[in-house]
Amino acid sequence: MTKRALIIGGSVGGLFAANCLRQIGWDVTVFERNPDELAGRGAGISTHSQLHDVMRRLGIEFDDSMGIHVTKVYFLDKTGKVYDERGTERVMSSWGRVFRSLRDLIPDHDYRLGMALTRVEQDADGVTAIFADGSRERGDILIGADGGRSSVREQFLPNEQPEYAGYVAWRAMLDERDIPPTIYAQLFPHYAYCLPPGELFLAYPVPGRNNETEPGKRAYNIVWYRPTTPERLADFCTDTTGKSHGTTIAPPLIRPDVIAWAKAQAHERVAPQVAKIFERDPRPFFQPIFDLDASRIVFGRVALLGDAAFLVRPHPGAGTTKGALDAACLADSIAAHGTDEGLARYQRLQGAFGSSIVQQGRRDGAYLTEQLQPREQRQNKALTWSVEALIWDHNERSAVVRRLFEASRRMAE
Ligand SMILES: Cc1cc2nc3c(=O)[nH]c(=O)nc-3n(C[C@H](O)[C@H](O)[C@H](O)COP(=O)(O)OP(=O)(O)OC[C@H]3O[C@@H](n4cnc5c(N)ncnc54)[C@H](O)[C@@H]3O)c2cc1C
């Protein structure tokens, strides 16, 4: 009889799981809490060859329509002068582009919107998902792909909570056609770094708001990491009515005075070209950076995947890649070893890989976290950025992710 997987969360992790399990003959249904189709979150993402490999095996060619090829990295000083320039080979895509290509492969009747999971029950024959509207669904396994604040993880690991890293990522995006011509001629389509003391500012081209990669329709994306005390974060997460939203706030609720302050800070801290791009986005927003190294990712017939399993700081640029690798490993393990043995293998392999990539993210972000310490207590390496180290990270990131993946595989098998 055909086996059925219930997948909680309809973002990229859930969709990788759905597509990989469909490929091995499983019946899958995705349950997404959001009432409307997810689309155009606008966030740019860097990609790795392992992500391209998993997409290819699902029949999605990672061709020119998937992202923008970047071949040059600029380092800009505060006056806007290029003080270093290096070659690179990266493909910058967007969350929306990857999401769309995966979502298009799932029939609408197997992708159910407005379904918020509240609880999971298990017995000897399988798993039951219970939703906020009171409905129940039965399956052979349940995959919790419900993100960094996973309610599936909360049920099974209530004492393991994401930890604030001490900084936020401000994000902005400007359509290619809105970039002033003089800035455009110098910057597009290159990758730019600015290194204000204690911070890290990156800017790079991404597909446009409707996933276009043709010249003229693309966009320029900014990620600006800024140390932010918990007290200041609490203020940023308080809306105009005075309501506190805890440690994160939906972008439309960020107060105008917080946005105006960030724009003024951009002019004080980074090169004028990129500050102007940041300023021209009417609604830049911030994402507080959290991480979590989960002690387990399989609980009987329930498995966690993607950010729900391990929440990684964004520096390895591998959140989406990890979701893809988790899904491929889960499907391969079940196909080769059956459901229970397969889940045990998934725990061993992706448990080790997830943990190692969380540690890598912590090493990469240590400089930013250290900024909240009094200067005399910081470790030496936290006192400056080095162009050489940054460019090495930039160009070797895919190789590092591959090495971590292979090392954890050797350790776990
Ligand atoms: C600043 C920043 C930069 C990043 N840059 C990159 C990059 O360059 N490259 C890269 O690969 N990754 C990057 N990432 C990470 C990447 O965005 C995530 O790893 C990826 O989106 C995780 O996908 P996911 O499907 O596991 O979780 P999510 O995208 O968080 O999706 C979880 C889904 O589950 C749904 N859900 C939640 N609770 C329930 C419930 N109870 N019932 C039903 N549905 C539910 C949510 O609505 C959501 O749609 C970055 C992240 C940040 C913060």
The string of pLDDT tens digits covering residues 243-259 is 999 999 999 999 999 99
- State the virtual CA torsion across 8, 289, 362, 344 in degrees, nearest 10: -10
Which residues, including other chains, have CB under 8 Å from residue 373's CB and lie 6 or more apart?
382
| Closest to 87 measured CA to CA, from 111, 70, 66, 68 | 70
* Cβ(88) – ligand 1 distance below 6 Å: no
| Phi, psi angle pair for 133, to nearest 5° | -85, 5
DSSP-derived secondary structure for 323-380: HHHHHHHHHHHHHHH-HHHHHHHHHHHHHHHHHHHHHHHHHHHHHHHHTTS-GGGS-G
245/181 Cα distance (integer angstroms): 39
User: What's residue 388's pLDDT?
Assistant: 85
* 27 pLDDT above the threshold of 60: yes
From 29, 106, 146, the mutation candidate for ligand 1 (largest count of ligand atoms within 8 A of CB) is 146
Confidence of residue 129 (pLDDT cuts 50, 70, 90): very high
User: What's residue 40's pLDDT?
Assistant: 61
The Cα angle at residue 47 between residues 42 and 50, in degrees rounded to 5: 140
Q: Mean pLDDT for the chain? A: 93
**Which ligand 1 atom is nearest residue 307's CA?**
26
pLDDT, one tens digit per residue, over 157-170 is 999 999 999 999 99
3-state secondary structure of 175: strand
208/276 Cα distance (integer angstroms): 19
CA of 394 to the centre of ligand 1 (A): 22
CA of 350 to the centre of ligand 1 (A): 17
Start-to-end CA span in the chain (Å)? 30
Is the distance from CB of 270 to CB of 194 less than 8 angstroms?
A: yes
DSSP-derived secondary structure for 87-143: EEEEEEEEHHHHHHHHHTTS-GGGEESS--EEEEEEETTEEEEEETTS-EEEESEEE
The Cα angle at residue 327 between residues 324 and 333, in degrees rounded to 5: 135
| Closest to 409 measured CA to CA, from 370, 331, 355, 367 | 355
* Cβ(99) – ligand 1 distance below 6 Å: no
From 6, 7, 12, the mutation candidate for ligand 1 (largest count of ligand atoms within 8 A of CB) is 12
- pTM for this entry: 0.93
Average pLDDT over residues 352-379: 89
pLDDT, one tens digit per residue, over 132-162 is 999 999 999 999 999 999 999 999 999 999 9
From 320, 368, 398, the mutation candidate for ligand 1 (largest count of ligand atoms within 8 A of CB) is 320
User: What's residue 393's pLDDT?
Assistant: 81
282/383 Cα distance (integer angstroms): 33
Confidence of residue 381 (pLDDT cuts 50, 70, 90): low
* Residue keyed to tokens 């800070």: 265
* Residue keyed to tokens 């102007």: 276
* Cβ(169) – ligand 1 distance below 6 Å: yes
239/252 Cα distance (integer angstroms): 10
| Closest to 241 measured CA to CA, from 250, 229, 254, 228 | 254
73/174 Cα distance (integer angstroms): 19
Is the distance from CB of 391 to CB of 347 less than 8 angstroms?
A: no
Neighbours of 342 (CB within 10 A): 22
7/58 Cα distance (integer angstroms): 18
Is the distance from CB of 204 to CB of 191 less than 8 angstroms?
A: yes
pLDDT, one tens digit per residue, over 213-245 is 999 999 999 999 999 999 999 999 999 999 999
Average pLDDT over residues 339-350: 97
* 412 pLDDT above the threshold of 90: no
User: What's residue 203's pLDDT?
Assistant: 95
CA-closest residue to ligand 1 atom 50: 314
DSSP-derived secondary structure for 220-257: EEEEEEEE--HHHHHHHTB-TTS-B-TT---GGGS-HH
User: What's residue 42's pLDDT?
Assistant: 58
Which residues, including other chains, have CB under 8 Å from residue 179's CB and lie 6 or more apart?
187, 188, 220, 277
